[in-house]
Amino acid sequence: MVVSVFRLNLLRAMYLLIGIGLILSVWPGVFSSIGKAADSHTVVGAILVSFSLLALLGLRYPLKLLPILIFELIWKSLWLLGFALPAYLTGSMDEYTAGTTFACAMGVILTPLVIPWRYVVSEYLMAKGSIWR
């Protein structure tokens, strides 16, 4: 299946947004904490640095890196439903939760707009050897 150049460039823009966003927001904290005590924050930081590198690789291979955008959409949707929504409904949303909610909501709104869904269905769900076929 052919994906238009316009759609490929939208994907590249999304990868760039994710990559630069994580470089600016996560990398400083990760690299300033190297050598300090390990905890769950250091694990999440390392995962997000890796994720940003994959997003930047998506600039070169926008279709091959589609699974990271799908992962992005899934985890942000789950976080919004499982954590942000309950915090909002109970009135317990703090500043961190509000900021993360905004970032996740932007991802949940923008990511489905740039993903070439026909390509995803064709290449992942209906491809030869797929369990769905």
Q: Give pLDDT, residue 126.
A: 86
As a whole number of angstroms, the distance between CA 48 and CA 23 comes to: 9
* Best CA proximity match to 106, nearest among 21, 2, 7: 21
As a whole number of angstroms, the distance between CA 40 and CA 36 comes to: 12
**Over the stretch 30-88, which tens digit does the pLDDT of each residue have?**
999 888 888 998 999 999 999 999 999 999 999 999 999 999 999 999 999 999 999 99
